[in-house]
Amino acid sequence: METSFGDMKVSMGDCDLHATDVDLVDRVTGGDREAFAFLLSKYRDYVAGIVARHIPTEDVAETVHNVFVRAYLSLGKFRASGEFRHWLASIAVRTCYDYWRERYRRREIPMASLTEGHREWIETILSEQSTEGYSESPYQEEGLELLNWALGMLSPEDRMVLELVYLQENSIREAAALLGWSTANVKIRSFRARRKLQSLLSREINRGGKK
């Protein structure tokens, strides 16, 4: 079995299948670049799952590749006392964050006209104290379309913290660890970002009702 990563192409039989993540990291940082193929093979689907929750489908593969490039170049910063899986997840989240930062610098986000279904979905979301009922809405598909548009109107920082805390239900502490921010920063930003999103959606309801 072979796995390629950039110019790396190795046989999976060339390395100990029972090696731990820490062992493999030590091998890579010690000069054995081929050992990284095991980490890539082991965590590719895991990283793809994280990326797919934040990035448009057409850009997932490229973003996953970027995550592993960053991980490879940053292996020297990995601490054996930590969990490699979580360390890799934080790189994946930050790579998604950088994706949106770059996208927003050159963004062209069209204003979508709201259907009655959109407005009903927004009213449901705005009336909830949390995201309960989000997946049960009869207008879930239209709601997702509008939610993606609304998130696109926020800053990359606001978008990521809302997705992590409210849509993916990470705790403040977990989101802070993934983003590399302080818990205080995440708590304040998540509160303010939710209010911005509510304000944005409320304006669309009012504007749509006057058409």
At 11, is the secondary structure helix, strand, or coil? Answer: strand
**pLDDT tens column, 131-165:** 444 444 444 555 666 777 788 888 999 999 988 98
What is the structure's pLDDT at 59?
Answer: 93
Are residues 139 and 181 both part of a single domain?
yes
At 188, is the secondary structure helix, strand, or coil? Answer: helix
Alpha carbon distance, N-terminus to C-terminus of the chain: 60
Lowest mean pLDDT among 6-15, 177-186, 193-202: 6-15
What is the structure's pLDDT at 88?
Answer: 96
Per-range mean pLDDT, top range of 8-17, 33-42, 126-135, 137-146: 33-42
Are residues 126 and 180 both part of a single domain?
yes
Are residues 184 and 205 both part of a single domain?
yes
- pLDDT greater than 90 at residue 13: no
Determine contact, residues 122/204, Cβ cutoff 8 Å. yes
Are residues 101 and 139 both part of a single domain?
no
Q: Residue 161: which CATH number?
A: 1.10.10.10
Are residues 121 and 56 both part of a single domain?
no
What is the structure's pLDDT at 16?
Answer: 58
Number of domains in the chain: 2
Of the three residues 105, 139, 162, the one that is the final residue of a domain is: 105
- pLDDT greater than 90 at residue 64: yes
What is the structure's pLDDT at 139?
Answer: 46
pTM of the model: 0.68
**pLDDT tens column, 163-190:** 898 888 899 999 999 999 999 999 999 9
CA nearest to 68, candidates 36, 96, 27: 36
Q: Identify whether 23 is part of a domain.
A: yes
Are residues 14 and 76 both part of a single domain?
yes
Report the percentage of the chain scoring pLDDT > 70.
68
Q: Identify whether 28 is part of a domain.
A: yes
Are residues 100 and 131 both part of a single domain?
no
194: number of Cβ within 10 Å: 16
Residue 52 lies in domain: 2-105
Average model confidence (pLDDT) across the chain: 78
Are residues 132 and 94 both part of a single domain?
no
Q: Identify whether 152 is part of a domain.
A: yes
Q: Identify whether 110 is part of a domain.
A: no
Distance of CA 64 to the CA centre of its chain: 11
Place of tokens 């190795």: 10
Are residues 127 and 202 both part of a single domain?
yes
What is the structure's pLDDT at 121?
Answer: 55
What is the structure's pLDDT at 144?
Answer: 63
Are residues 98 and 143 both part of a single domain?
no
Are residues 78 and 169 both part of a single domain?
no
Mean pLDDT value of segment 92-103: 91
Are residues 91 and 128 both part of a single domain?
no
- pLDDT greater than 90 at residue 60: yes
In single-letter form, the type of residue at position 96 comes to: C
What is the structure's pLDDT at 131?
Answer: 44
Q: Identify whether 111 is part of a domain.
A: no
Enter the tokens of residue 31. 């000069």
